[in-house]
Every structure is written in C-alpha cells, then in structure tokens.
Amino acid sequence: MELDPIEVVRRHSLTALVRDALEREIVEGRLAPGEKLNEAYWAARLKVSRGPVREAFRALEQTGLVQTHKNRGVFVRTVTLDEAAEIYMVRAVLEEAACRMLAQRIGDAELGALRASLERMQAALAAGDRGAYARENIAFHDAIVAQAGNAKLAETYRRLVGELNLFRRAALTVTDDAAHCSLAEHREIVAALAARDGEAAALAMHAHVTGGLARARQTAVGRAGRVGEYFDNEEHDAAGK
C-alpha cells in the first residue's frame, strides 16, 4: 500500500522533533549516561505516537548518543576513557584544521565573538559557576569550527563532541585549576587567530586538546572499580526514561 506523501512528511517532521528534544535532554545532562529510555514514557511526554519515538531512538543511535541492548532496551550511551581518548585524538586533528582555515578568513566580528566568549568564561570562573563555564567552553569550540567554513568538518566535529560530552558529564569533575588552565589555552588560540597565524593557532589548539585529554585521565572517576566504567545500566533501569 502506497503511503500518503503528507503522512510521510508529517511522520518525518515528528521524528526530527522528537530526536531534537531527546538530544537536548542528553546534551544538557538531564538524561545521564547509562540511563534507560522508555518508548512509551517519551511518547506520552512529547504527545506523539510511539513510531516517531522509535525512529528517533534509531537516529540517535546512528549519531552515537544512545545504544540498544538486546532484550533490555535503549540506553544513553556510556563512553569509556579509552573511547574518549580516541575521540580526543580525532578532535585535535579536526580543530587544528579548523584553526588553519579560520586564520585565513577571520574578521573583526568573529574575533569579537571569540573574545566575548573568553570574557564569559572568565566571569563564570569568578562566580564559581562551573556549569556556565562548561557550556561556554563548548560554545567557544563550536564557534571556531563553524566559522572555519567547512560544513563536512563541522558535521563530523559535532558528532564527535556529542559523544565526548557524554564522557565528560559522566566521568569528570572540573576543578578550578583545570578551568583556569583551559581558559589560558583558549586565550593563546584567540591570540594566534588574531595574528592570522594558522600554524600557531593549530599548535595552540593541539596543545589545548591534548592537555584536555591529560586532565581527563587525571580526573576520571571509575564507579565500577576499573577505569572506563562509570555507570551500571542496571542502576538506571528503574528510572524508565
């Protein structure tokens, strides 16, 4: 039986809306790594049928944010330290390339936006608001990649960072010393971009990302008694989300 084109469009749109809503819940930390996603619960909460929710789960699995466990259900993905290390290495390559591209095209408006981001990070540190600092940190890197002008690089980067954020939310405690160190590294990146020095910006970014990995190794907390395991999915089955 041929599907009604309007129904196809409507279903696709609903799936995209559900996917975006769930992705926000995950990225902003309201759904934790290892937490179970219940199809009926989310259909009722978002006031849609279960079909778009099921399809949204599949889309999120393709982007690396959730995993399906046979006979158990769908869970927010848990990223181990070893997986995170691999992501950090690929991220470094992508962001170095973005810095080289951006240095060739950056204008006063882009520089102003990056400097404003630095000031917001500084203000968050002064206020002791680590959550605000973390959000602005992500926005700073997103801006560099977006302004580089390569859509495919940006698409790949966003997927990697989505996975990496799962690890950081589950495993890391951001200390004031680490945040101050990170902010100083951000300032070096912006200074190199302001000088239109692509190689210096790429080197500063490489040092920053590899430094982030080193800090991650030092502060990762193993909840299951060994490095790389942070959540036991069984603990979250009861949540039903």
pLDDT (tens digit per residue) in 196-221: 999 999 999 999 999 988 888 876 64
pLDDT at 238: 35
- CA separation for the pair 91, 72 (Å, rounded): 32
To the nearest whole percent, how much of the chain has pLDDT over 70?
A: 83
DSSP classification of residue 78:
P
pLDDT in tens, 173-188: 567 788 889 999 999 9
Complete domains list, the chain, with CATH: 5-77 (1.10.10.10), 81-219 (1.20.120.530)
pLDDT in tens, 65-121: 999 999 899 999 988 889 999 999 999 999 999 999 999 999 999 999 999 999 999
Write phi, then psi, for 129 (nearest 5 degrees).
-95, 90
pLDDT at 204: 98
Pair 218, 181: CB distance under 8 Å: no
Non-local CB neighbours of 182 within 8 Å, separated by 6+ positions:
137, 208, 211, 212, 215
- CA separation for the pair 158, 66 (Å, rounded): 15
- CA separation for the pair 131, 189 (Å, rounded): 22
Tell me: pLDDT of 189 over 70: yes
Half-sphere exposure of 117 (CA within 13 A, CB side): 23
pLDDT in tens, 105-159: 999 999 999 999 999 999 999 999 988 888 899 899 999 999 999 999 999 998 8
> Who wins on pLDDT, 52 or 231?
52
Which helix (H) or strand (E) segment holds residue 73: the answer is strand 73-76
